[in-house]
Structure 1
Amino acid sequence: MRDIIREDARLIILRELHAQSNYSLNDSLLQQVLENFGIAKSRDWVREELNYLAEVGAIEKTAVGSVVVATLRPKGGEHVERRMVITGVKRPSPPEA
């Protein structure tokens, strides 16, 4: 179950970054987004997921003061748009007809 929650959270993060006009959000806002989806985890947990997404090349992380800003990279966008699959990230549902 733990892996399912992590994979789901990673997809939620990528989708939320994809929805932003500048493809970026900080870890505090991403924590709130995850809570809206029923994933209530600590900021450290969110940062672990951001670390994973950065390691696989889906996002770029930048430390700004006490927050971490995540920015979507092309690979992460391609996953959200269903052009490729990133291992460890839930696959997006197919578009509704």
Structure 2
Amino acid sequence: MDRIIREEARLIILRTLSGEPGGRLNSELLRQNMEAYGITRTREWVQAEMRSLEQLGAIEVTEAGTVLVGQLTQRGQDHVDRRAFLDGVKRPSLPRV
């Protein structure tokens, strides 16, 4: 179950960044956004998932005080758009017609 939640959270992070102007957002705002999807975790947990996405090349991470700022990369956008898929990240569903 933990793996499924982590994969879902990573997809939520990518989708959230994809929807932001400039494709960037900090870990606290990402954490709050995850709560809307029923995933209630600490900022540190979210930051660990951001680091995992960074290792996959899906986002770039920079430190800004006590938060991390995630910047979506082309590889991350390709996953959101279903052009390529990343291991350890839930696959996005097909758009509804």
SS in 1 for 2:22: coil
Counterparts of 1:83-94 in structure 2, within 5 Å, are: 83-94=83-94
Per the alignment, residue 58 of structure 1 pairs with 58
SS in 2 for 1:61: strand
- Taking structure 2 as the reference length, the TM-score comes to 0.98
**Alignment of 1:17 onto 2:17:** yes
- TM superposition shift of 1:87: 0.2
Q: What fraction of aligned residue pairs are identical, expressed as a percent? A: 48
Shift of 1:2: 0.4
> What is the rounded CA distance, in whole Å, between the counterparts of 1:5 and 1:66 in structure 2?
24
CA deviation after TM superposition for structure 1 residue 65, in Å: 1.6
Paired residues in the alignment total 97
Q: List structure 1 segments (4+ residues) > 3 angstroms apart after TM superposition.
A: none
CA shift at 1:95, angstroms? Answer: 1.2
Please tell me whether residue 26 in structure 1 is matched to residue 43 in structure 2: no
Letter of the structure 1 residue corresponding to residue 80 of structure 2: V
1:57-76 alignment runs, 5 A limit: 57-76=57-76
SS at match of 2:76: helix
Report the RMSD for the aligned CA atoms in angstroms: 0.5
